[in-house]
Amino acid sequence: MRILLIGEYSRFHNSLKEGLQKLHHDVTLVGNADSFKNFPIDISLDVTFFNKKLPNLFRQFFYRICKKDIAFLETAYRFYKHRKAFQNYDAVQLINEFPFATIPFIERKLLKYIFKHNKNVFLSSCGDDFHYLNYILHADLPYHILTPCVQNKAVKKQFIYSLQYLCKSHKKLHHFVIDNVKGIIPANFDYDMAYKTHPKALPLVPFPINVDSLPFNKLTNTEKVIIFHGVNKVNYLKKGNDIIEKALVIIAEKYPEKVVVKTAYSLPYNEYIKTYDEAHIIMDQVYGYDQGYNALEAMAKGKVVFSGAETAFQEYYKLDNTVVINATPNVEDLVEKLSFLIENPAELIQIGKNARAFIETHHEYESIANEYVKRWKM
C-alpha cells in the first residue's frame, strides 16, 4: 500500500512508519518536527523564513496586534508547493483534526485538498480535539488533563493551546474533518473513552513502539535509585509536573542517601532518550488513564514509569502483574508509591522486566502497524 501519514507527535507516526515499512508498505510522513523535539519528517512543512531575525520580529508584532501567528502562511505555502505529493494514496492518516497547526480556516482548505485527492482518510485520536475535550469536561471523571484549569481559572493562560479546540472555528473544523474521514482510531484509553459511542469510531489500536531501537536494560545498582523527571514547559500543568515536583522534593529529603532526582526541561527527542538511560524511575504524568508515548518508550527500555494505569487499562490487557505505576494527582499517593519502591529495590527490578514484556506483547511496532492496515481496510 501507498500510505500518507500527516502530522507528528512524540514520534508516534515515525514508529508507525517504521512498522509499516517492515511490512513492505510505501510510506510518506508529512508535517513538522514538533518544535524542539525535532522528529524526522519526509516532507517538512516547518516554518523557517518566519524564524529568521527580521521576519520573526514582524511575526511577533503581528501576533500582538491580531493574536494570530502569521507563520501559518509559510506552512500553507509549503503545502501547496508539495501538493502533488499528497495525491492518490491507498490510505491517509491524520494525527489530529488540526494536523498542520495553521488556523482553522486555512486548515480546512489544506484538508479539503487531501480529502479531494484521497478516498481513504482516517483520523487518529491521540491528542486534544473538540470532541475529546468536551467529553472530559462533562464526563464524571475524578480528574483529567484540564483539571488544573477547572480548579483554578488563574492558570487558564497556560491551557490556551488545549482550550483553542473548544472555540467556534475549531468546532467547525472538527465537524468538517469528521464528515470527511472514513473512521476514527483511538490510540489509548483516554481517547477511546471519549469516542467509544461515536458512529465513526473504530476499535482502539495501541501506540506502536519500535522495540528494536529501544534496547532493554535490566535495572541494576539499586543502592542509589535515580528518578528522572522530564518536563515539557508547554504542558507543565497539563501533565501535573507541579504535583510531581512537590512529591520529588519530599522524596529527596526523606531519602538523601538513597535517591538522586534528575530533572530536564524541553529536550530534543534524541537527547531526552539518552538523558534518562541511567534512571530507574521515570515520572511521566498524573492526569492520564493510560500511558502516553514517552511513558511507553521508557517502559520498553525497562524503566519503572509513573503514568496513567487506571482500572480500565488493567482490565483491558488482563494484567496480573504490575507493568506501570498508576500516578494520580495526589502528592501523598506519589510519595507513598515512590517510598515503597525505594525501600523494596527488588520490586523495581521486577516491574522493569514486566514493563518490557508488556511493550513487546502489546505495542510491538510491526504487529501494531499490521493492525492499522486492517483498520484502513475496514
26 pairs with which residues across the strands?
2
CA angle 215, 334, 228 (to 5 degrees): 35
Number of structural domains found in the chain: 2
Domain assignment of residue 63, given as a range: 2-208+365-376
**Confidence band (pLDDT; 50, 70, 90) for 303?**
very high
Mean pLDDT of the chain: 92
Asked if 335 and 371 sit in the same domain, the reply is no
**Confidence band (pLDDT; 50, 70, 90) for 9?**
confident
Read off the pLDDT of each residue in 186-198 and give the average, rounded to a whole number: 94
pLDDT recorded at residue 34: 54
Highest mean pLDDT, choosing among 45-54, 275-284, 299-308: 299-308
Asked if 199 and 247 sit in the same domain, the reply is no
Read off the pLDDT of each residue in 71-80 and give the average, rounded to a whole number: 87
Asked if 168 and 244 sit in the same domain, the reply is no
Read off the pLDDT of each residue in 3-12 and give the average, rounded to a whole number: 93
Residue 371 has pLDDT above 80, yes or no: yes
pLDDT recorded at residue 166: 95
Helices (H) and strands (E) in the chain, counts: 16, 11
Q: Which residue has the cell 482550550?
A: 163
Read off the pLDDT of each residue in 95-107 and give the average, rounded to a whole number: 95
Is 332 part of any domain? yes
93 pairs with which residues across the strands?
5, 122
Q: Which of 215, 241, 362, 363 is nearest to 302 (CA)?
A: 215
pLDDT in tens, 338-369: 999 999 999 999 999 999 999 999 999 999 99
pLDDT recorded at residue 124: 97
Query: Is pLDDT larger for residue 71 or for residue 321?
Result: 321
Residue 37 has pLDDT above 80, yes or no: no
Asked if 151 and 265 sit in the same domain, the reply is no
Query: Is pLDDT larger for residue 52 or for residue 14?
Result: 14
Angstrom CA distances, 326 to 137, 223, 264, 283, 306, stand at 22, 24, 22, 11, 6
Asked if 171 and 204 sit in the same domain, the reply is yes
pLDDT in tens, 222-257: 889 999 998 888 888 999 999 999 999 999 999 999
Asked if 347 and 370 sit in the same domain, the reply is no
Read off the pLDDT of each residue in 154-164 and give the average, rounded to a whole number: 91
Asked if 236 and 357 sit in the same domain, the reply is yes
Residue 376 has pLDDT above 80, yes or no: yes
Residue 298 has pLDDT above 90, yes or no: yes
pLDDT recorded at residue 55: 72
| DSSP per residue, 138-150 | HS--S--TTHHHH
- pLDDT above 90: percentage of residues in the chain: 75
Question: In degrees rounded to 5, what are phi and psi of residue 148?
Answer: -60, -35
Asked if 193 and 266 sit in the same domain, the reply is no
**Confidence band (pLDDT; 50, 70, 90) for 53?**
confident
Residue 152: exposure state from Cβ atoms within 10 A (0-12, 13-18, ≥19): exposed
Read off the pLDDT of each residue in 189-193 and give the average, rounded to a whole number: 92
Read off the pLDDT of each residue in 300-304 and give the average, rounded to a whole number: 96
Asked if 12 and 118 sit in the same domain, the reply is yes
Burial string for 200-214 (b: 16+ CB within 10 Å, else e) reads: ebbebbbbbbbbeeb
Asked if 95 and 186 sit in the same domain, the reply is yes
H or E element in which residue 125 lies: strand 121-125
pLDDT recorded at residue 35: 52
pLDDT recorded at residue 47: 80
Residue 173 has pLDDT above 90, yes or no: yes
Query: Is the dihedral angle over the CA atoms 199, 200, 201, 202 positive or is it negative?
Result: positive
Q: Which of 189, 188, 185, 187 is nearest to 202 (CA)?
A: 185
Is 216 part of any domain? no
**Confidence band (pLDDT; 50, 70, 90) for 1?**
very high
3 pairs with which residues across the strands?
27, 91
Query: Domain containing 239 — which CATH number?
Result: 3.40.50.2000
pLDDT in tens, 201-225: 999 999 999 999 999 988 888 889 9
For residues 37 and 295, is the Cβ–Cβ distance under 8 A? no
Asked if 12 and 75 sit in the same domain, the reply is yes
Query: Is pLDDT larger for residue 47 or for residue 330?
Result: 330
Global confidence as pTM? 0.92
Asked if 370 and 338 sit in the same domain, the reply is no
Rounded Cα distance between 248 and 321, Å, is: 25
Query: Domain containing 123 — which CATH number?
Result: 3.40.50
Residue 272 has pLDDT above 70, yes or no: yes
Of 176-180, 196-200, 215-219, the poorest mean pLDDT is in 215-219
| DSSP per residue, 29-92 | EEE---GGG----SEE----GGGSHHHHHHHHHHHHHHSS-TTHHHHHHHHHHSGGGGSS-SEE
- pLDDT above 70: percentage of residues in the chain: 98
